[in-house]
Amino acid sequence: VSRLTLQQAVIASISEEMRRDHRVFHMGQSIGASFNGSMSSGKGLGEEFGSRRIIDTPMSELAMVGSAVGAAMTGTRPIVQIMFAEFLTLVMAPLACDGATIHYRSGNKASVPMVVRTLFGTGPHRGHPEDFHSWAASVPGIKVVVPSTPRDAKGLMTSAIRDDNPVLFMEHMGLYHAAREEVPDESFSIPLGKADVKRVGRDVTVVASGMMVPLAVKVADSLKRRSIEIEVLDLRSIVPLDKDAILQSVAKTGRLVVVSETWASSDSSAEVAAVVAENLCDTRPIPIARLGLTKVPRPFALTLERMVVPGEEKLTAAVLAVMNQSGRDPQFITANPVPSMLGKEI
Amino acid sequence: MPIEFKVIGMYSGVLGSTISLATGAALSSHILESNSVTVVSFGEGCSNLGAFHENINLAATLDLPIVYVCQNNQYAMSTRSTQSMRCASVADRALGYGIPGVQVDGNDVLAVHRAVQEAVKRAREGSGPTLIEALTYRVSGHMGSEHPVYQDSEERETWKQRDPLRLFEGHLESLGIMDAATASRLAVTIRTEVVEAMKVAQADPDPGIQELAECDIFALTQGEVVK
């Protein structure tokens, strides 16, 4: 094993797969040997694989994704880097209208094995934090992966590259060069569609992905001191969604908080809440809270950025709110109860 | 998986997507170092899309083996090409990408053939893409049934006289390869064949619910089992 950052783990997977399969290639803007990608997202790849397989493209996201779809249909396995998820808005036609539909519309005769990887999220980069993963997740035919740890990132990227479908792989900038984790040196894969319990707990299920996972873990650790046990479920992939894991956890805890780093309007967190409501609420009431980004365009000022993104305080409040709501554990009803957040956007 | 008949069709209603898909096919040839050349055809309306500019530029920078054939029929729905571009020919746009731009008479079958063959040869030699403009005219409405009130009827009639099939027949007759009788016999045979094929297709049952197959949205990756 090696102690790797998320960035190093992603690169480790890509290079292993490129060594293993000559059909895999990577294109993106400034990912080659002279610059190694934004935030080192292509580090070492250009040097090892050369400019035929690590392609520095013009600033043409539409053509990058559109041609990758065509390449994937014709015998290669492209990995495209869309530098920042903000630019996913430029590639929706080839990704959602073509890439997502070709296997189906060809009567299973063609397939589109490609990965679109992109940086996103609040973090040290101070720009381009937008997270449009829900746009892709809303279209049948695109898998969406959001890893939260280096080990997961490596195993999930390997699965994404080997998958015969378009996969959107979201790399969080706040996690990118942050916590290291022991990652196996040999190649391994983590199946897409398998959530991971990052903390076991009996009182509240917090469903999260990406940067919201370490946040949920932090809140879980701090509330444990107040005898509230949070189960943190890291989705790892938004599509396919691990409904079984969600239902299993919420059936146990009876309470759900879904936390997301993007606007809750039509965000994939709504899907999680709906799955629980449809499958569990007919037998007993289950308090559900959704926590997302304040509905304003992403602010640049640090003070404002901290206010709009879900943090420790807001998540703690949401957890306490669902605890209060259920009324089964009166000891958690505090002297100064937080305003009820149930059924409301926070 | 192989593409049937080596033909990539339209998979969405978004115009310009085929330019992207074709560029990708050429990219595959580049990566796999194969001998394949891709030819893609589209209208002059598409030459105003980002997909056209971005893909041709990308193909030019990588010297991809591809031929872009623009059929300029002078109308994008009701919009006349002179209203949608300032340059005289779509071929002029090639200058901006540093590749050859060739304008040919789109109603002259042999001229188009020659231009495409030359461009394919160039692509196969590793010299990169070519943009060909085949200048023609749309002699029907955009949707077939609508009457193109936005066209000058005299102009339309003039172009109808230049039907590429008629011109080519005349050419073959002048060379003594095919006489008028053979041409009309052939026309009847082909028409019958197409009408029969249409009948067969129309006699097929309408798709039932089993064709919806939500399970076919995703391709099964090697080793994956259906749930």
| Residue of chain A nearest B7, judged by CA positions | A74
A240: cis peptide before it, omega within 30°? yes
| Residue of chain B nearest A62, judged by CA positions | B51
Q: Is the pLDDT confidence value at B3 over 90? A: no
Q: Is the pLDDT confidence value at A343 over 60? A: no
Contact B22 A70 (CB under 8 A): yes
- Higher pLDDT, residue A335 or B172: B172
Enter the ipTM.
0.94
Instruction: State whether residue A108 sits within 8 Å of chain B by CB.
Output: yes
Query: Helix, strand, coil % (nearest 5) of chain A?
Result: 40, 20, 40
pLDDT value for A346: 40
Q: Catalytic: which of A26, A103, A128, A133?
A: A128
pLDDT value for B109: 97
- Strand locations in A121-201, DSSP E? 143-145, 166-172, 181-183, 196-199
Cα A319 to Cα A256: distance, rounded to the nearest angstrom: 8
Structure tokens given for B123: 């692509």
Please, how many CA atoms are within 13 Å of residue A154, restricted to the half-sphere of its CB?
24
* Interface size, chain A vs chain B, as Cβ–Cβ contacts under 8 Å: 145
Instruction: Kindly give the pairing relationship between strand B101-105 and strand B130-135.
Output: parallel
- Strand locations in A200-311, DSSP E? 204-208, 230-234, 237-239, 256-263, 288-293
Q: Is the pLDDT confidence value at A149 over 60? A: yes
Query: Which residue carries 């002059």 as its tokens?
Result: B44
**What is the percentage of chain A residues whose pLDDT exceeds 90?**
87
Contact B219 A164 (CB under 8 A): yes
Average pLDDT over residues A72-94: 97
- Higher pLDDT, residue A319 or B142: A319
**What is the percentage of chain B residues whose pLDDT exceeds 90?**
85
Q: With beta carbons under 8 A apart, name residues in chain B contacting A164.
A: 218-222
How does pLDDT run across B141-158, given as a tens digit for each residue?
Answer: 888 777 888 999 999 999
Instruction: State whether residue A73 sits within 8 Å of chain B by CB.
Output: yes
Q: Is the pLDDT confidence value at A339 over 50? A: no
Q: Is the pLDDT confidence value at A345 over 70? A: no
Cα A15 to Cα A45: distance, rounded to the nearest angstrom: 7
3-state secondary structure A38-89: HHHCCCCHHHHHHHHHEEECCCCHHHHHHHHHHHHHCCCEEEEEEEEHHHHH
Lowest mean pLDDT among A34-43, A257-266, B40-49: A257-266
pLDDT value for B146: 79
- Higher pLDDT, residue A266 or A221: A221
How does pLDDT run across B11-24, given as a tens digit for each residue?
Answer: 999 999 999 999 99
Q: What is the DSSP letter of A262?
A: E
Shortest Cα distance from B90 to chain A (angstroms)?
Answer: 19
Give the pLDDT band (50/70/90) at residue B108: very high
pLDDT value for B225: 67
> Catalytic: A128?
yes
Give the pLDDT band (50/70/90) at residue B31: very high
- Residues sharing a CB contact under 8 Å with residue A69, sequence separation 6 or more, in sequence order: A94, A95, A98, A99, A102, A112, A114, A166, B20, B21, B24
Average pLDDT over residues A73-86: 97
pLDDT value for A338: 41
Is-contact A245 A200, C-beta < 8 A? no
- Using a CB–CB cut-off of 8 Å, the residues of B that contact A are 1, 3-4, 8, 11-14, 16-17, 19-25, 27-28, 30-32, 50-51, 54-55, 57-58, 61-62, 213-214, 216-222
Q: Using CB atoms, pick whichever of A22, A140, A165 lies closest to residue B219.
A: A165
Q: Is the pLDDT confidence value at B1 over 60? A: no
Give the pLDDT band (50/70/90) at residue A100: very high
User: By C-alpha distance, which of B90, B113, B120, B110 is closest to B102?
Assistant: B90
Average pLDDT over residues A232-245: 98
Cα B100 to Cα B96: distance, rounded to the nearest angstrom: 10
Lowest mean pLDDT among A306-310, B100-104, B127-131: A306-310
Shortest Cα distance from B197 to chain A (angstroms)?
Answer: 21
How does pLDDT run across A7-25, given as a tens digit for each residue?
Answer: 999 999 999 999 999 999 9
Give the pLDDT band (50/70/90) at residue A333: very low
- Higher pLDDT, residue A260 or A343: A260
Contact B54 A106 (CB under 8 A): no
pLDDT value for B226: 61
Instruction: State whether residue A87 sits within 8 Å of chain B by CB.
Output: no
